[in-house]
Amino acid sequence: MTVHLLLLSNSTNNDSDYLAHATDEVLEFLDEAPLTFVPFALADHDAYTQRVIDALAPHGVEVTGLHTSTDPIGAVEQARAVFVGGGNTFRLLSTLERLALVAPLRERVRSGMPYMGASAGTNIAGGTIRTTNDMPIVQPSSFDALGLVPFQLNPHFIDADPHSTHRGETREQRLTEFLEENDAAVLGLREGTWLRVDDERATIGGQAVGAAAPGPAVVFERGASPHEVSGDVSALLHRQLRLDVGSSDVAPQ
């Protein structure tokens, strides 16, 4: 299986334009291939696609919105590269299901078509969308995603602020709850970072936003303490995803 993935935690840093923080990586990844953009995570597909065109056309990248095709399955099958944009993960997956695009997209990527995702588009690269941060504004038929990597993803990972007066669950606590019921690795990507996968090699890139961020990414695993990662994370490609195993066999940290 030949897989080429560029999975961005976010598409826009607080102080920059759309994709500006990752433009060099995006252009190198696409290698001048025309881009099919999947705008289904937001409601206004035309405006969303135009935003991508405005960001990439000045660099010579041809962008076409998948929503404009009368044959979306055929468009995916003919695409040279795909970018699945961010927004609401539940809406994105539900739309892909309704259009019968999940399997064709999965097969094209597994056959070597470059796949770029941001936020929700990164979420669906994992086995399921169970580690998204989004509200379930619609109900897909399943949480099963593309399964392009054998672990879970949590874009926009944010560290708890020790000075905050908020007493709700932190992101770490939410992911720990997921691991109490499921056996998997979860990669938390901080803002400004991304995961690049080329066949059997996986690397973390970018620069985490925020002075409090200790590094670009953190890995959560069942029965273990979270650990910071950077650079080569190829070992994650050899993990297995076991869902709904329950909490009875969670090892103490």
Indicate which residues carry an active-site annotation: 119, 134, 156
d(CA 204, CA 195): 5
CA 163 → CA 159, 166, 212, distances in Å? 12, 9, 12
- Rounded to the nearest 5°, which phi and psi values hold at 69? -85, 140
- DSSP string of 165-230, one letter each residue: ---S--HHHHHHHHHHH-B-EEEEEETTEEEEEETTEEEEEE---STT--SSEEEEETTS--EEE-
Going by C-alpha positions, the residue among 78, 147, 87, 144 that lies closest to residue 113 is 78
Q: What angle do CA 119, 239, 23 make, to 5 degrees?
A: 30
d(CA 152, CA 143): 12
Going by C-alpha positions, the residue among 216, 228, 240, 220 that lies closest to residue 8 is 216
CA 206 → CA 8, 216, 226, 231, distances in Å? 9, 7, 20, 10
Three-class secondary structure of residue 57 per DSSP: helix
Pairing state of beta strands 193-198 and 4-8? Answer: antiparallel
d(CA 188, CA 43): 26
